[in-house]
Copies of this chain bind each other. A is one copy, B any other.
Amino acid sequence: MKRVTIRDVSEKAGVSTAAVSYVLNGREGKVSSETVAKVRKAVEELNYIPDFSARSLANNKSKLIGVVIPQTEERKQLLLQNPFYSELVCGIEARLRQSGYHMILSGVEKGEGYLDTSMQRNLDGAIITGIYQESFYEDLKKVRMPIVLIDSYINDSYFDSVGIDDELGGYMATKHLIDNGHTNIALVTGLIRKDGVVEKRFLGYKRALKEAGLFYNPDYVFEHSVTYEYGREAGKLIASKQMEITAAFATSDLMAMGVMQGVRDEGREVPTHISVIGFDDISVARISTPPLTTIRQDAVAKGIMAAERLLSAIGHTEAYRSFEPLVMPLELIDRRSVLRIGGSAE
């Protein structure tokens, strides 16, 4: 299929390429309505489709957004297995497409930069989730394109960001357990990295403890990787050891599901023997046995808002730095995995 160029259109319509370019880009005010009609007709008949590569070369706009999500360390595959990221991506893509943008979805080798990609592709902007080493963000800044960080506590006014109040979330979860009479509460979590979301949730956990006059016991924190498998392992430990633990706060639903299974592996029941509360409210949380009590955040909405912000930043050149970080709401979803114990009042 031979490519139809803007020149073909201009010839067919009997006008200049500039005129065609004008009507194609909505600057119809600069051209007579008669010319507009002729051009539209020619475009239609020739089935003209503009070449974004050429366009990008001419004006440095690609209508392309880079979306980065974390990947598994071993197999270098996207972390889409975690439904949380899937939903995020769904939201982003839908919103972007609605405005005529496309999304390049990729992971990034750890330690490697994203500068190459952004420059090669003339990206109009990027949405970054996950947490990377500092040099990664420095690179990003050099490119001078709008960037939205999701779930990042990088404190740099260059970046716009959307997230949740993770500290509050951790507090809410732990408080809920405490309100139900639990005093020996485990924390099951992925690696607690500086400025990461789990660190904040961890902080919230400690705050709730302290507020209730409970001691923080380091032996009660099970920290490893954000996987079902590790959650299960932790669950086994919690259920088997001669510990007084009666409840666990898992910093992600994926892990919470594992914890519940681990508890069962040891012949004990959730919530009869061990109560469990998760974080995220991924779709399986609703359908697990028992249905998981959790802190809900709306991942799809998060993705949509991130895209929204990015698009608006792309529109308003250089004025985009003025954004306040966007903090999305949280909600406690009380299902069946937490048991009220003791005789404590509400």
Q: Which A residues contact B (CB, under 8 angstroms)?
A: 1, 3, 49-54, 56-57, 62, 64, 71, 75-78, 80-81, 83, 86-87, 89-91, 93-94, 97-98, 102-107, 115-117, 119-122, 142-144, 228, 257-258, 261, 283-284, 287-289, 300
Question: Quick check: B300 and A77 within 8 Å, CB to CB?
Answer: yes
A287 to B260 CA separation, bound complex (whole angstroms): 10
Residues on the B chain within 8 Å of A121, using CB = 52-53, 102
Of chain B, the residue at the smallest CB distance from A145 is B1
Instruction: Select one of B80, B104, B142, B258 contacting A89, CB under 8 A.
Output: B80
Can you offer 16 A-B residue contacts whose CB atoms are under 8 A?
A: A1-B142, A51-B119, A53-B56, A76-B98, A78-B89, A80-B89, A81-B283, A86-B86, A93-B106, A93-B107, A102-B104, A102-B121, A103-B105, A104-B105, A284-B284, A289-B289
Question: Quick check: A94 and B119 within 8 Å, CB to CB?
Answer: no
A3 to B3 CA separation, bound complex (whole angstroms): 29
A236 to chain B, nearest CB (A): 14
List the number of copies, as a whole number: 2
Question: Quick check: A57 and B53 within 8 Å, CB to CB?
Answer: yes
Given contacts A51-B57, A142-B1, contact A104 B104 (CB under 8 A): yes
Of chain B, the residue at the smallest CB distance from A232 is B287
Question: Quick check: A1 and B143 within 8 Å, CB to CB?
Answer: yes
A24 to B54 CA separation, bound complex (whole angstroms): 22
Question: Quick check: A94 and B77 within 8 Å, CB to CB?
Answer: yes
Of chain B, the residue at the smallest CB distance from A289 is B289
Residues on the B chain within 8 Å of A53, using CB = 52-54, 56-57, 62, 121-122
Instruction: Select one of B52, B120, B284 contacting A120, CB under 8 A.
Output: B52
A302 to chain B, nearest CB (A): 13
A84 to chain B, nearest CB (A): 11
A65 to chain B, nearest CB (A): 10
Question: Quick check: A75 and B51 within 8 Å, CB to CB?
Answer: no
A267 to chain B, nearest CB (A): 15
Question: Quick check: B287 and A257 within 8 Å, CB to CB?
Answer: yes
Residues on the B chain within 8 Å of A76, using CB = 94, 97-98
Instruction: Select one of B1, B90, B122, B288 contacting A78, CB under 8 A.
Output: B90
Interface centre among A87, A103, A119, A144 (most CB of B within 10 A): A119
Of chain B, the residue at the smallest CB distance from A79 is B90
A346 to chain B, nearest CB (A): 30
A311 to chain B, nearest CB (A): 16
Question: Quick check: A80 and B90 within 8 Å, CB to CB?
Answer: yes
Residues on the B chain within 8 Å of A57, using CB = 51, 53-54, 57
A94 to B122 CA separation, bound complex (whole angstroms): 22
A202 to B173 CA separation, bound complex (whole angstroms): 45
Question: Quick check: A87 and B80 within 8 Å, CB to CB?
Answer: yes
What 6 A-B pairs are tightest by C-beta distance, nearest first? A53-B56, A289-B289, A80-B86, A77-B90, A49-B119, A52-B120
